Structure 1
Amino acid sequence: MLTETVLPWLLLVSSAAAYPAPNPVQFLKRAPDAGVVIQKCANPGVLALAYDDGPYQYTSQLVDILDRGGAKATFFWTGTLYGCIYNQAAAVRKTFASGHQIASHSWSHGYMGSMSESQIRSEMTRLEDALVNLIGKKPAYMRPPYLQTSGVFLPTMRAMGYKVITNDVDSGDWNNQSPQQSQQAFQRAGTHGNGHISLMHETYASTVNTLTPWLINWAKQNNLRLVTVAECLNDADGMYQPGNFTGNGRNYC
């Protein structure tokens, strides 16, 4: 009876040893798919700083703060939310030259979950045109305004090759949260497990001048690297859509 009980168990152990379980991290070493909502990083030890709604009057100052702190970030930009993107051409080019990720937040920051496919495509291609004119690149990442992903939005993003990013830490700056309250949101999220993707806005002076320097110091104290969203998803080389693009000079502002 003992032999009948133990032998199958021994065979199972032997089989498991011959075919060891794969390292779970290996499952994360894959670039994210287009048209799939992504909320969290694929790696531990990182924090993806992500700012919405620019470019704006604080963009250049924010880039200086990040660069001094050795931090990289992702900028989800619009075309017309805070004035025409072409009026911030110097800040756009400075951000790109500093190695930060430039991504799409649509042209006009509308409710894309209720738009038709043609309307969504227009929102995306207008910003693509502007970025190609300014930096020669089409973004491969986007964050939907108001985090809306309903209707035909996701299938359209899939067809256009866009990786869709939301967040798992909300600074609440858009909801009148103070920098101190925002800090608490990051502290609650913690530093263990896979890294976090933040929701912040470069259009608030307090986020640029108070929250961001605090995050740089907090990350250093906790051995976190501040990276772009693409890097935190093991896709640092995939920040932009492949191809050589020539600006067409179109200005939809």
Structure 2
Amino acid sequence: MLVETLAAGVLLAAGAATMPISNPIDIVKAGPNAGVVITKCTSPGMLALAYDDGPYQYTSQLVDVLDKGGAKATFFWTGTLYGCIYKEAKAVQKAFASGHQVASHSWTHGHMGSMSADKIKQEMTKVETALVNLVGVKPAYMRPPYLETSGQFLPTMKTLGYKVITDDIDSGDWDNKTPAQSQQKFTAAGASGNGHIPLMHEVYPGTVNTLTPWLINWAKQNNLKLVTVAECVGDPTGMYQPGNFTAATGPYSC
């Protein structure tokens, strides 16, 4: 019996030696899967400030607020919702150069849950093209308009390699909530547990000028690290899809 046991152990060891062993660094770099909805951070002690619907006239100002507070954030941008993205080229480039994450919120901000797969692809590739032209990267993260994830949406996001972000705190700025009312939502949620990914919009001056500075102070008071969404979900090096992309010849237009 002892001999048989030893022999089995040798065979198992030999078999293990021939099996590929995953590199722990590669596992960390892999991050979340594409086409899966993510609502909050994977670890405690973080707050991922995330803004939808831009770029817009307040984008540059918001970048200044974030940089002054030592905060990194994620911008989920559209192509045409508040004017053509190319008309805000300087603000887009400023945000990217400051180390903030640029991501997609679709081209037109339509109801993607009821779109065909081909239409969804068009919505995403147009934003990709714009960001390649403006800052040279193709995003790997997106937030769906209206947070709709039904129909062909998630399978298409998986095919395109997009990690899908929603939220776990809705600031309500889109619903005419005042910054003070939004603040109450954060204090009610608290700073414990896995970190938060809030739903906010950079197109409202109250969010830019009042709520964001308050959140920066709230995070510091609660020892929360202000991070990009990618870092918040354990994917700090995966903000953008791999590859070398060449910008098209301008001028650009929507």
Q: TM-score, normalised by structure 1?
A: 0.88
Instruction: For 2:56, give the aligned amino acid.
Output: Y
Between the aligned partners of 1:109 and 1:186, the Cα distance in structure 2 is 26
Is this contact kept in 2: 1:173–1:207, CA < 8 A? yes
Instruction: For 1:175, give the aligned amino acid.
Output: D
Is this contact kept in 2: 1:113–1:153, CA < 8 A? yes
Is this contact kept in 1: 2:28–2:235, CA < 8 A? no
1:109 aligns with 2:114: no
The aligned counterpart of 1:246 is 246
Is this contact kept in 1: 2:132–2:247, CA < 8 A? yes
Between the aligned partners of 1:175 and 1:199, the Cα distance in structure 2 is 12
Match of 2:41, SS?
strand
The aligned counterpart of 1:138 is 138
The aligned counterpart of 1:179 is 179
Structure 2 stretches lacking a partner, 5+ long: 1-26
* Cα drift, residue 43 of structure 1: 1.1
Between the aligned partners of 2:149 and 2:236, the Cα distance in structure 1 is 24
Structure 1 stretches lacking a partner, 5+ long: 1-26
The aligned counterpart of 1:208 is 208
| 1:190/1:120 CA distance change after superposition, 3 Å | same
Is this contact kept in 2: 1:28–1:42, CA < 8 A? no
The aligned counterpart of 2:67 is 67
* Cα drift, residue 29 of structure 1: 8.6
Higher fraction of strand: 1
The aligned counterpart of 1:35 is 35
| 1:192/1:162 CA distance change after superposition, 3 Å | same
The aligned counterpart of 2:154 is 154
Deviations 1:30-79 (A, max 9, x none): 61000000001001100000000000000000000000000000000000
Instruction: For 1:110, give the aligned amino acid.
Output: G
Match of 2:43, SS?
strand
The aligned counterpart of 1:8 is none
Match of 1:132, SS?
helix
The aligned counterpart of 1:233 is 233
Is this contact kept in 2: 1:34–1:161, CA < 8 A? yes
Q: TM-score, normalised by structure 2?
A: 0.87
Between the aligned partners of 1:245 and 1:115, the Cα distance in structure 2 is 27
* Cα drift, residue 234 of structure 1: 1.1
The aligned counterpart of 2:8 is none
Instruction: For 1:105, give the aligned amino acid.
Output: H
The aligned counterpart of 1:45 is 45
Percent identity of equivalent pairs: 74
Deviations 1:74-124 (A, max 9, x none): 000000000000000000000000000000000000000000011000000
Is this contact kept in 1: 2:86–2:253, CA < 8 A? no
Between the aligned partners of 1:131 and 1:227, the Cα distance in structure 2 is 21
Instruction: For 1:81, give the aligned amino acid.
Output: L
Is this contact kept in 1: 2:29–2:237, CA < 8 A? no
| 1:136/1:72 CA distance change after superposition, 3 Å | same
The aligned counterpart of 1:22 is none
Instruction: For 2:77, give the aligned amino acid.
Output: W
1:58 aligns with 2:58: yes
Is this contact kept in 1: 2:29–2:238, CA < 8 A? no
State the aligned residue count.
227
CA RMSD of aligned residues (A): 1.4
Between the aligned partners of 1:252 and 1:31, the Cα distance in structure 2 is 34
Is this contact kept in 2: 1:171–1:185, CA < 8 A? yes
